[in-house]
Every structure is written in structure tokens, then in C-alpha cells.
Amino acid sequence: MTHKGWKDYLLKSSLPLEYSVTETLRKLNVEKPSEYKYEKPNEQGILTTFSIDVHGSTLRNKNKLDLELFVECKYRYQGTKWIFTPKSFKSLELADFKDTFITLDALCRSSKINSKLINSFSENYELCGKGVEIYNDGLNPKTITQAVSQLQYSLVKKVAEGLDDQIDDFLGNPDQIHILVPIIVTTAELWRLNPGTTIEGIQDANELEDVASKTDFLLVHEAPDNDLNRYTIKHLIESFSEEQKEEMTKILKKNKSGSFDGYVRSFARTYPSIFAVIEYNSLEKRLSNMLNFFNRSDILMQRENT
């Protein structure tokens, strides 16, 4: 095997990228970053083990917030481009900028996340729709959608675990808020088509810069489809006993969040739907900013009924 051969194959395996992401999380004091495995039926209905490349957690805001990061890693050769269509938060029916963070606070008795504060930062981040991977001699329309799908299904198990911790006080802190953040890290270039771009505009363009803007961080919106919706509802309903469901309904009604059944169905329609996509070279800076944000004292609000 030539010098270039082994290097290309090793990098293409994504192992070095996964290791580098893991070390970056360690540097930022994220605990035990490692592969995260979960089970779900495959296309033939057979229960199969899948995995997310890197998962780790960190306590924020004096241990009141348990922030968990789920990272899919996609190594791509230099020059590979991920190009996305533009979207705006105003155009979405169900999701807001705050939904980038899957926040489990509906069962918390005394506090909740300040959603208005999080949403106030929406103008600082660019939202995208569908994306495609383009390289020197072709394209791959599945890379991004497959990464998104992996993250969507992996989070359902963690949602059930987070709710279970709160209702049964397993961690000794029933008011600890769980926040799950789905992330895709890639070495590909990230591009967002300029709003209003047309087929004619692309045909007349000489360079990609004429119709798109390069960035190192963007958000991708992909609402749950019917299969994910059904999977989420089924998994969450089957994860709890009738006694737990009754107790959750009492708390949810007190917090003006409806019944357990209504909460599950509403959650399944909305989450997960927004995913952070980060160019690897900017990962440490972007994650550091995120972690610091969740240490802000005004990120939490007291509930009115406490």
C-alpha cells in the first residue's frame, strides 16, 4: 500500500475524526465522550443495534442542567462541499430556534428553560433545509439525510431515560433539566444558497460564491416523518408504567403542559427537528460558546406555580 493509500483509507474511515472530536470534548470537560449505541427495528422489522459516533454529557449552571451532546462525524476529502437550501425560522409551523436544544423541563417542579432568551439569538444563526454533498466527480444526496436520521432515532431512547430520571428521582435531583443537542461534524465545506437563488441564477453563475455563502456553522431543519413519529410515540408510551404515566400527568397538568399522552404526541411531532452542522476546524470554538451559554444565570426561570 502506498504512503498516500494508507493515509487516505485511514482518514476516510472517520476514525481519526471521531478521535479528534472525542479529544475536543474532553478538553471542554465533557464527561466520558464515547460511542453511543441504541437499538431499533431495521427496514425488515428486526431489532438491530445502531450507534452515534460520539456522545458525552456535562453539567451546567451549578448542576441544574445536564447537557448531552450527540455527534455524528463525517470525514470528507478536501474540496467536498455540502450545499443547503435556505430557510427561515419564521417559515416554520412547529419549530423555533430553541428546538435546536431538546429540552426536558416539563416535569420539573420549580424551574424551566428561558425559551424567549434562547429564541432571541435566532437571527445570529442561519437555518437551512435540504442539503446535498458534491465532490469532484459526482454527488451524494444521502450523506446528510442519513446522518440526520441516525441522530433522530438515537435521541428517543435518551428522552425516555431523561423523563424516567425526573419522575423517579433516580439522580437525586428531580428538577435537573436534561438538554439533548444533536450535532453533525464534518470536514466538508459548508455552503448555504442565497435566498432567492433560481435555476437561471445558478446556470449563469461562474463560481459557487456567486449563488451561495460559505460558513462554518449552520442549522438544518428536518421535521420528524411519519415513521419517526410512530416510533417515538410507541417507545415513550412503552417505557413507563401506568403509575408513572399518572404521576407525570399530574405534574404536567400542574405545569400547564397537558396530559402524558398529549405531551408524548406533541413531542413526537416536533422533535428532533433542528440539527447543528459544524465544520471540524471550528468545533472547539462553537462548542465552547454553547457550553458557556448554558452557564448563564438567566437561562433558567422560576415556574409561576412555585
Does residue 70 register a pLDDT over 50?
yes
CA neighbor of 156 nearest in space, from 229, 219, 99, 107:
229
Helix (H) or strand (E) holding 193: strand 189-193
* pLDDT value at residue 299: 94
* Mean predicted confidence (pLDDT) in 212-231: 96
Mean pLDDT for the chain?
92
CA neighbor of 215 nearest in space, from 99, 29, 84:
84
* pLDDT value at residue 95: 83
Does residue 63 register a pLDDT over 80?
yes
Question: What φ, ψ does residue 172 adopt, rounded to 5°?
Answer: 80, 10
Residue 287 one-letter amino acid:
L
* pLDDT value at residue 124: 87
Does residue 36 register a pLDDT over 90?
yes
Predicted structure pTM score: 0.93
Kindly tell me the sign of the dihedral angle through the C-alpha atoms of 20, 23, 27, 32: positive
* pLDDT value at residue 175: 79
Does residue 1 register a pLDDT over 50?
no
Domain ranges of the chain: 58-302
At 123, is the pLDDT very low, low, confident or very high (cuts 50, 70, 90)? confident
Give the β-pairing of 300-302 and 274-279.
Answer: unpaired
Residue 201 contacts residue 236 (beta carbons within 8 Å) = no
Residue 226 contacts residue 220 (beta carbons within 8 Å) = no
Rounded CA gap, 157 and 79, in Å? 36
Which tens digit of pLDDT belongs to each residue from 124-157?
Answer: 899 999 999 999 888 998 999 999 999 999 999 9
Which tens digit of pLDDT belongs to each residue from 153-201?
Answer: 999 999 999 999 888 765 556 678 999 999 999 999 999 999 999 999 9
Task: Report the b/e string of 96-108 with b at 16+ CB within 10 A.
Answer: bbbbbbbbbbbbb
* pLDDT value at residue 169: 66
In DSSP terms, 41 is beta-bridged to 47
Sequence length of the chain is 306
More confident residue, 44 or 268: 268
Q: What percent of the chain has pLDDT over 90?
A: 77
* pLDDT value at residue 173: 64
CA neighbor of 284 nearest in space, from 66, 22, 97:
22
Q: What percent of the chain has pLDDT over 70?
A: 96
**Within a 10 A sphere around the Cβ of 222, how many other Cβ atoms?**
21
